[in-house]
Amino acid sequence: MGQVASQPAMSAVNTAARAFIAADVGGTHARIGLVRGVGEGGRVAVLDYRKYVCAEHEGLDAILRDFLSHHQDTAVTHGALACAGYAIDGVVVNDNLPWRVAVGELRDALHLSDLSLINDFEAVAYATQYIEPSATLALTDAPLPETPGPQVVVGPGTGLGSAAILPMQPQPLVLPTEAGQIALAPRGELEIAILGVLESRHRHVSYEHVLSGPGLLQLYQALRILRAAPCTLERPEQVTEAALHGGDADARQALDVFCALLGSFVGDLAMLYGASGGIWLAGGILPQIRSFLARSTFVERFLDKGRMRAFLQRVPIRLMEHGQLGVIGAAGWYLDHQDGS
């Protein structure tokens, strides 16, 4: 997704100097920031930041109005919206969002002169340029390369987001993708059996059906069905808690399968984009299971690609906290695109 048609954008100088809204909207949370540009290179200062639960609000306009009510002394006339899904004629298409998101309607309702829209993981990918490696968890021993190479950003949350970063001049090119909708490719008897259960529910079983919060719950439910046992856990966070601390064998196996499938999926994306520059893992789930992920078969499944193992052993993988990344990335993208490029 790129910039949505609106009134002419403000000049880069005015945009950088004045505060504007940057929003990162997923299926579960909306993260809103009041930001402005500082210095050169699209650097962003976050003046205020608030996190909202989407389901507790009637629409994104209500969330943004609440945020702006805390800044009535600031003249906010423009903004950048990073949203999960893709856009058709300015309307976001995403089954995980609890309400309709139409950029033109939001712009008019909030009396903004300009509102731009990008994919949420395009924003996260854009924000990786501001991340210090020391603030991330290295999952492999491969060092960060000295020469820039293609990179991939992947994040399971309410859905499964991904983007590719290609080294270009004067700045990297970020490609948002819908790789999460690729058909699930199971390995081994258990994963094939799980796919069989999921195919009874979905005509098309994608990686997002297993590599997301709802997907983790589906993995647990499939395991219980295969064992002819009732499901005692009803929400993704219950499965995570039971796997990490509750001693529930099926919940733990569901999380094991989750990590294994994530490794296979990320390995495929690394080969697809020739990701010699590395893999960035984000999203709402992985920081919660970081120790479990590090001990899981994730890395082995990532590497287990036949003759490509030698290449993948040289690809660094780092886990980062999602936090304000989407907000910072959306703001940085907006600042860099005000010159009409």
* In the block, residue with structure tokens 């976001």: 92
pTM: 0.85
183: which DSSP letter?
A: B
Q: Quote the Cα angle for 283-286-287, to 5°.
A: 95
Structure tokens at 254: 């569901």
Question: DSSP readout, 97-120?
Answer: SSS--BHHHHHHHTT-SEEEEEEH
Query: pLDDT tens, 207-265?
Result: 999 999 999 999 999 999 999 999 999 999 999 999 999 889 999 999 999 999 999 99
Query: pLDDT tens, 50-98?
Result: 999 999 999 999 999 999 999 998 999 999 999 987 788 888 888 778 8
Question: DSSP readout, 248-279?
Answer: -HHHHHHHHHHHHHHHHHHHHHHHHHT-TTEE
Q: Name the more confident of 93 and 295.
A: 295
Q: Is 228 left (phi over 0), alpha (psi -120 to 50) or beta?
A: left
321 pLDDT tier (thresholds 50, 70, 90): confident
pLDDT-above-70 percentage for the chain? 93
Structure tokens at 150: 């293609």
Q: Which pLDDT does position 303 carry in this prediction?
A: 98
Q: Which pLDDT does position 339 carry in this prediction?
A: 53
Q: Which of 97-101, 169-173, 223-227 has the highest mean pLDDT?
A: 223-227
Q: Quote the Cα angle for 240-243-249, to 5°.
A: 140
Answer whether CATH 2.60.200.30 is correct for domain 15-126+324-339.
no
Q: How far apart are CA 222 and CA 196, in angstroms?
A: 9
Q: Name the more confident of 313 and 324.
A: 313
17 pLDDT tier (thresholds 50, 70, 90): low
Residues 215 and 258: beta-carbon distance below 8 Å:
yes
Q: What is the mean pLDDT of residues 174-183?
A: 93
Q: How far apart are CA 223 and CA 303, in angstroms?
A: 26
13 pLDDT tier (thresholds 50, 70, 90): very low
Q: How far apart are CA 130 and CA 139, in angstroms?
A: 20
Question: DSSP readout, 73-88?
Answer: TS---EEEEEESSEEE
Residues 36 and 18: beta-carbon distance below 8 Å:
yes
Q: Which pLDDT does position 65 carry in this prediction?
A: 95
**Cα separation values, 153 from 50, 261, 266, 307, 320, Å:** 24, 16, 9, 23, 10
Q: Per-domain residue ranges for the chain? A: 15-126+324-339, 141-315
Q: Which residues of 151-180 are buried (b: 16+ CB within 10 A; e: fewer)?
A: bbbbbbbbbbbbbbbeeeeeebebbbbbbb
CATH of domain 141-315: 3.40.367.20
Q: Given this chain, do its domains 15-126+324-339 and 141-315 carry the same CATH topology? A: no
Q: Name the more confident of 206 and 172.
A: 206
**Cα separation values, 44 from 3, 82, 100, 223, 325, Å:** 19, 15, 29, 45, 11
Q: How far apart are CA 56 and CA 148, in angstroms?
A: 42
Q: How far apart are CA 166 and CA 48, in angstroms?
A: 31
Residue 310: exposed, middle, or buried by beta-carbon count in 10 A (0-12, 13-18, 19+)? exposed
